[in-house]
């Protein structure tokens, strides 16, 4: 069996293969509520044959949205809006469904990408953002409000409440978003965190609040269901968060019951310089896995099935997560299985789509027709 199509068990959840559909912001919610777009978008990705589908970064409070169009799960209304989306997925697919819990911190209150993605001033319909320190993401932006004790408590409860709502919705897996320059990453990085209390200064102090949030989410979600963390393994800026810091963070997360580390990078500073190439972030997953033994997910310009399979086969990572490549080719797992001689789950309505030279792609099936 191709390593990419071997199963992986995380607590009570078994992924049929090692392909994960990454959480991808769609900026198409209304007041945080899922819409018909989410039904279409997540519905067709649920039929992709991937091992797990992760719902986009989901804000734990309104001020935690990246944009006014970001998905949220903070009250009964936003919870109800996800019910029909998940029901449709469950009716037609066995795919495990994950959700990424997020707070954008100082990168909140932004225009959607196709409208430029820049900070929206309060006078133009934006909102004041919150962060570890009153340091703007870009020099020309209004600085965020530094979180005080009450603010930290509010965010702690927001993550806990959202995790409980996710459990009530029947979400199988949670991922805590600690990457891409959003709130928890802002606490980790010395570029964004200039606090002088127990949440700033030393690496141990800067890790404290993200670790607290992980513990809160872990405690609020059923113990038999897995919880992982996405990290930015490096800031790609001198003086910022590094791979060594990430390994130390992963050690602490593992002690607290973290089930995997999803290793991305960057996002906390516009000064970052990222050398893009296929699999450019894989060494981060490999290093974290080697140093800590924790399950890792590799991301970043992984588009070739043979390359993805080699990453799993060689032990560089345990899963590969795909975003843009999956949008471009929503049947990428089918095509990868055909190339590697594996099988994938597919709904019976699609069984007749198998090419004549790939009759085993969907397993041992038959399809009669009058």
What amino acid positions are annotated as catalytic residues?
Answer: 182
Q: Which residue has the tokens 């927001």?
A: 158
Q: How far from 268 is each of 138, 184, 254, 303, CA to CA, in Å? A: 10, 10, 24, 25
56 φ/ψ angles, rounded to the nearest 5 degrees:
-55, 165
Token pair 């200039």 is found at 194
Alpha-helix residue ranges (DSSP H) falling in 233-346: 243-255, 282-292, 305-313, 324-328, 332-340
99 in Cβ contact with 82 (< 8 Å) = no
Any residues with CB less than 8 A from the CB of 11 and at least 6 apart, and which? 223, 224, 225, 226, 259
- Return the SS3 of 309: helix
Distance (Å, rounded) from C-alpha 303 to C-alpha 332? Answer: 9
Residue whose pair of structure tokens reads 């805590």 in the numeric block: 176
Nearest to 177 by CA among 202, 203, 213, 216: 213
CA distances from 247 to 1, 261, 324 (A): 31, 10, 27
Pair 134, 125: CB distance under 8 Å: no
How far, rounded to the nearest angstrom, does the alpha carbon of residue 167 sit from its chain's CA centroid? 17
DSSP element (H, E) containing 55? strand 52-59
Cα separation, 21 vs 16, in Å, equals: 13
Distances 285 to 36, 155, 257 between C-alpha atoms, Å: 35, 29, 18
54 Cβ contact partners less than 8 Å away, ≥ 6 residues apart? 20, 21, 22, 23, 97, 98, 99, 100, 173, 175, 321
């Amino acid at each position: 069996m191709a390593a990419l199509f071997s199963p992986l068990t995380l607590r009570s959840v078994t992924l049929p293969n090692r392909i994960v559909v990454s959480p991808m912001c769609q900026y198409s919610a209304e007041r945080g509520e899922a819409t018909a777009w989410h039904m279409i978008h997540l519905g067709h990705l649920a039929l992709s044959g991937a091992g797990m589908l992760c719902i986009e970064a989901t804000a734990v409070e309104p001020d935690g949205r990246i944009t006014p169009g970001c998905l949220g799960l903070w009250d009964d209304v936003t919870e109800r809006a996800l019910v029909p989306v998940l029901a449709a997925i469950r009716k037609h697919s066995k795919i495990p469904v994950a959700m990424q819990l997020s707070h954008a911190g100082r990168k909140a209150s932004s225009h959607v990408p196709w409208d430029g993605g820049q900070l929206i001033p309060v006078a133009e319909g934006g909102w004041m953002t919150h962060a570890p320190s009153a340091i703007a993401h870009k020099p020309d932006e209004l600085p965020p409000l530094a979180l005080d004790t009450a603010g930290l408590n509010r965010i702690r409860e927001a993550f806990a409440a959202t995790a409980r709502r996710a459990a009530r919705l029947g979400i199988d897996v949670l991922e805590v978003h600690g990457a891409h320059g959003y709130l928890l990453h802002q606490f980790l990085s010395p570029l964004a965190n200039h606090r002088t209390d127990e949440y700033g200064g030393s690496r141990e102090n800067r890790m404290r609040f993200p670790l607290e949030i992980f513990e809160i989410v872990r405690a609020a979600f059923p113990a038999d269901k897995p919880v992982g963390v996405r990290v930015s393994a490096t800031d790609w800026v001198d003086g910022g968060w590094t791979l060594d810091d990430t390994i130390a963070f992963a050690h602490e997360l593992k002690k607290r019951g973290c089930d995997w580390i999803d290793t991305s990078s960057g996002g906390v500073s516009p000064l970052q310089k990222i050398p893009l190439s296929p699999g450019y972030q894989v060494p981060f997953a490999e290093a974290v896995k080697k140093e800590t033994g924790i399950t890792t997910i590799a991301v970043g310009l992984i588009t070739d099935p043979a390359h993805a399979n080699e990453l799993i086969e060689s032990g560089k990572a345990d899963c590969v997560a795909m975003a843009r490549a999956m949008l471009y080719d929503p049947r990428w797992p089918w095509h990868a299985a055909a190339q590697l001689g594996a099988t994938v789950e597919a709904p019976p309505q699609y069984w007749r789509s198998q090419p004549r030279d790939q009759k085993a792609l969907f397993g041992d099936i038959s399809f009669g027709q009058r």
